């Protein structure tokens, strides 16, 4: 069409008229856009942000909880959870091949602009979103790199940037530990004012306060992309402390047992954050973790030598004999076997175990350890095996099948932690009829009782003597077959499933929505 002869549209005419008429204020036609719908706050829709999720990636208890809490909540109903986590190199092909690619965008990491791909996969009734960036996550390990601050700045920023592309519209962001601590911080600083992000509540769970994400103030602008003016809101102890930041910025804070929630207020357990915890104590709740009773089930776990349950635990012994054979230990059903699955870090009580060990190993026992960690302890347990080839084995590795075998084969489970936010091993052991020896701290205190009607043994002092005394009580009781089997039966009948705790989380989410 000839431009010149084109009839001016009504709008252009109107504009011309308007500009002619008004000399003071131009009268433009305002397009009335649809008022954004309020986010549905009647039911918690929780996006659970975790740096590790079993079975896709796992180094410890966080990965267990991230895989089992959402399954339990979705089964119970009343709230709905989805999970978002990095797409690490270790995610197995058998899952990856069924991932659905959603989109990719570029995400700001301070002055950088980084690729972020989004994948979706439904596993055990829970939608999992995976965030892909090979530069940050195609590495051998999950953590422990020089640029972890930048890797998790990227991940947390990507979670927020990719949220509008997810088919799950959360009204709660639930983050865990320091790796994901930036989510509530970024949310409050940059996102909450944006229409598509309105009305979202935030909660952080502290799984272990030892790891806080402490960084030099120089990283604030250069890596986290946060203005230096915010330094005072994120500073604790003279540096940027991401866990502290998440406590300050989140609407609620939870931790993984009631006792630990109290301990966090003290100097002894809070690793320098006690004053911060006390300052925000009105936001803090403790809920003890559950375990995945489907995965940790002595009646079905594929790695076991024989299956059994609380009603008939007689085949438990076959697991002891099977492990002894596998490890070349004397095959004796009657010897009390002490097993231990642990990260080899001193706060797991390895220093007191080391001082109790000369006495323990003199008893008629077998001791089998599985775990990796600090070189000092890897060496110590290897030496123990060399010194007592008929009594001790040190399996310096992490292997899920072996851990299941140790839970099933043991009579006694060693877990003398100095500090233990929740601890899952003691609950897994009890489910397998293996009686824990623990210290009365954190979640161990909330799950293990000694004495009449008890389910374990407690070392009340943090000392080798106290630990040996508790071990001796266990060994002596083991000799009384009747009493021991009553103890085993009590331990196996404990309900450590998520059913109670997941309901507590659901209640907490409802409270959070009302905040
Ligand atoms: C951390 C804690 C452990 C807890 C787990 C899951 O690994 O050290 O006690 O059970 O997180 O919350």
Query: Ligand 1 mean position to 115 CA, how many Å?
Result: 32
Contact yes or no for 108/225 (Cβ under 8 A):
yes
Stretch 106-122: mean pLDDT: 98
Residue 60's pLDDT is what?
87
**Residue whose CA is at the smallest distance from ligand 1 atom 8:** 208
For the ranges 127-136, 153-162, 342-351, which has the lowest average pLDDT?
A: 342-351
Residue 188's pLDDT is what?
98
Percentage of the chain beyond pLDDT 70 is: 93
List residues bridging with 121 in a β-sheet: 128
pLDDT at 500 over 80: yes
Look at the alpha carbons of 405, 122, 159, 80 in this order and tell me if their dihedral is positive or negative: negative
DSSP 345: -
Instruction: Please give the angle made by the CA atoms of 319, 323 and 325, to the nearest 5 degrees.
Output: 120
Stretch 295-316: mean pLDDT: 97
Stretch 309-332: mean pLDDT: 98
pLDDT digits (tens, 9 = 90+) for 212-246: 999 999 999 999 999 999 999 999 999 999 999 99
Ligand 1 nearest-atom number relative to CA 205: 12
pLDDT at 344 over 90: yes
Pocket, ligand 1, Cβ cutoff 6 A: 60-62, 65, 207-208, 256, 289, 420-424, 443
pLDDT digits (tens, 9 = 90+) for 357-396: 999 999 999 999 999 999 999 999 999 999 999 999 999 9
Contact yes or no for 247/279 (Cβ under 8 A):
no
Stretch 127-151: mean pLDDT: 97
Residue 38's pLDDT is what?
67
Contact yes or no for 390/330 (Cβ under 8 A):
yes
State the chain's mean pLDDT as an integer: 93
pLDDT at 11 over 60: no
Residue from 60, 286, 426 whose mutation best tests the ligand 1 pocket (most atoms within 8 A of CB): 60
Position 314 confidence tier, pLDDT thresholds 50, 70, 90: very high
User: In a 3-state reduction of DSSP, which class is residue 335?
Assistant: coil
Position 286 confidence tier, pLDDT thresholds 50, 70, 90: very high
CA distance 17 to 9: 12
User: Cis ω on the peptide bond leading into residue 55 (within 30° of 0)?
Assistant: yes
Residue 57's pLDDT is what?
97
DSSP 191: I
Of 273, 249, 246, which is closest to residue 152 (Cα–Cα)?
Answer: 246
Look at the alpha carbons of 502, 503, 508, 512 in this order and tell me if their dihedral is positive or negative: positive
Distance from the Cα of residue 505 to its chain's centroid: 14
Residue 40's pLDDT is what?
75
pLDDT at 30 over 90: no
Distance from the Cα of residue 374 to its chain's centroid: 21
> What stretches of 77-110 show up as alpha helix (H) in DSSP?
93-96
pLDDT at 459 over 70: yes
pLDDT digits (tens, 9 = 90+) for 249-263: 999 999 999 999 999
- Do strands 172-176 and 457-459 pair parallel, antiparallel, or not at all (unpaired)? unpaired
Residue 156's pLDDT is what?
98
3-class DSSP string for 307-361: CCCCCCHHHHHHHHHHHHHHHCCCCCCCCCEEEEECCECHHHCHHHHHHHHHHHH
3-class DSSP string for 416-465: CCCCCCCCCHHHHHHHCCCEEEEECCHHHHHHCCCCCCCCCEEECCCCHH
CA distance 293 to 496: 8
Ligand 1 nearest-atom number relative to CA 62: 6
Residue 4 φ then ψ, to 5°:
-65, -35
Residue from 54, 257, 260, 289 whose mutation best tests the ligand 1 pocket (most atoms within 8 A of CB): 289
CA distance 197 to 194: 5
Contact yes or no for 484/476 (Cβ under 8 A):
no
pLDDT at 5 over 70: no
pLDDT at 317 over 90: yes
Residue 372 φ then ψ, to 5°:
-130, 165
Residue 91 Cα distances to 52, 73, 142, 152, 436, angstroms:
10, 24, 11, 18, 32
**Residue whose CA is at the smallest distance from ligand 1 atom 5:** 61
CA distance 116 to 127: 18
Contact yes or no for 430/455 (Cβ under 8 A):
yes
Q: Which domains, and CATH codes, for the chain? A: 17-290+500-513 (3.40.50.2000), 316-495 (3.40.50.2000)
Percentage of the chain beyond pLDDT 90 is: 90
pLDDT at 14 over 70: no
Query: Ligand 1 mean position to 432 CA, how many Å?
Result: 20
Position 41 confidence tier, pLDDT thresholds 50, 70, 90: confident
Position 37 confidence tier, pLDDT thresholds 50, 70, 90: low
Position 510 confidence tier, pLDDT thresholds 50, 70, 90: very high
Position 398 confidence tier, pLDDT thresholds 50, 70, 90: confident
């Amino acid at each position: 069409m000839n431009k010149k002869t084109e009839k001016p549209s009504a709008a252009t005419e109107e504009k011309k008229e308007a500009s002619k008429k008004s000399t003071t204020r131009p009268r433009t036609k305002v397009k009335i856009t649809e008022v954004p719908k309020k986010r549905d706050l009647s039911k918690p829709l929780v996006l659970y942000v975790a740096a590790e999720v079993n079975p896709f990636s796992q180094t410890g208890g966080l990965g267990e909880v991230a895989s089992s809490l959402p399954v339990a909540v979705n089964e119970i109903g009343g709230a709905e959870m989805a999970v978002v986590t990095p797409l690490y190199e270790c995610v197995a092909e058998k899952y990856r091949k069924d991932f659905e690619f959603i989109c990719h965008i570029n995400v700001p990491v301070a002055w950088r602009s980084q690729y972020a791909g989004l994948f979706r996969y439904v596993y055990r009734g829970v939608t999992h979103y995976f965030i892909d960036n090979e530069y940050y996550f195609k590495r051998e390990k999950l953590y422990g790199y020089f640029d972890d601050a930048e890797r998790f700045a990227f991940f947390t920023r990507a979670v927020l940037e990719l949220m509008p592309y997810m088919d799950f519209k959360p009204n709660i962001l639930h983050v865990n530990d320091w790796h994901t601590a930036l989510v509530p911080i970024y949310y409050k600083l940059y996102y909450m004012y944006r229409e598509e992000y309105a009305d979202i509540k935030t909660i952080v769970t502290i799984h272990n306060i030892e790891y806080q994400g402490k960084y030099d103030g120089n990283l604030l602008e250069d890596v986290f992309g946060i203005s230096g003016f915010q330094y005072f809101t994120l500073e604790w102890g003279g540096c940027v402390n991401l866990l502290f930041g998440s406590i300050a910025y989140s609407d609620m804070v939870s931790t993984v047992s009631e006792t630990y929630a109290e301990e966090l207020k003290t100097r002894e357990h809070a690793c320098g954050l006690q004053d911060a915890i006390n300052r925000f104590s009105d936001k803090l709740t403790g809920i003890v973790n559950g375990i995945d009773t489907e995965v940790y089930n002595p009646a079905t776990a594929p790695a076991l030598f024989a299956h059994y349950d609380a009603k008939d635990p007689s085949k438990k012994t076959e697991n002891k004999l099977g492990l002894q054979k596998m490890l070349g230990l004397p095959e004796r059903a009657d010897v009390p076997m002490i097993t231990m699955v642990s990260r080899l870090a001193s706060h797991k009580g390895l220093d007191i175990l080391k001082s109790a060990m000369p006495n323990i190993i003199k008893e008629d026992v077998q001791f089998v350890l599985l775990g990796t960690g600090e070189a000092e302890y890897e060496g110590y347990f290897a030496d123990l095996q060399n010194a007592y080839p008929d009594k001790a084995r040190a399996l310096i590795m992490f292997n899920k099948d072996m851990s299941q075998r140790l839970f099933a084969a043991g009579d006694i489970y060693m877990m003398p932690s100095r500090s233990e936010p929740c601890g899952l091993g003691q609950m897994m052991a009890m489910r397998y009829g293996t009686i824990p020896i623990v210290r009365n701290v954190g979640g161990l205190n909330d799950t293990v009782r000694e004495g009449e009607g008890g389910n374990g043994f407690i070392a009340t002092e943090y000392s080798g003597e106290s630990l040996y005394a508790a071990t001796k009580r266990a060994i002596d009781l083991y000799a009384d077959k009747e009493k021991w089997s009553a103890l085993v039966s009590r331990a196996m009948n404990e309900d450590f499933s998520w059913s109670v705790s997941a309901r507590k989380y659901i209640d907490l989410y409802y409270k959070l929505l009302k905040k």
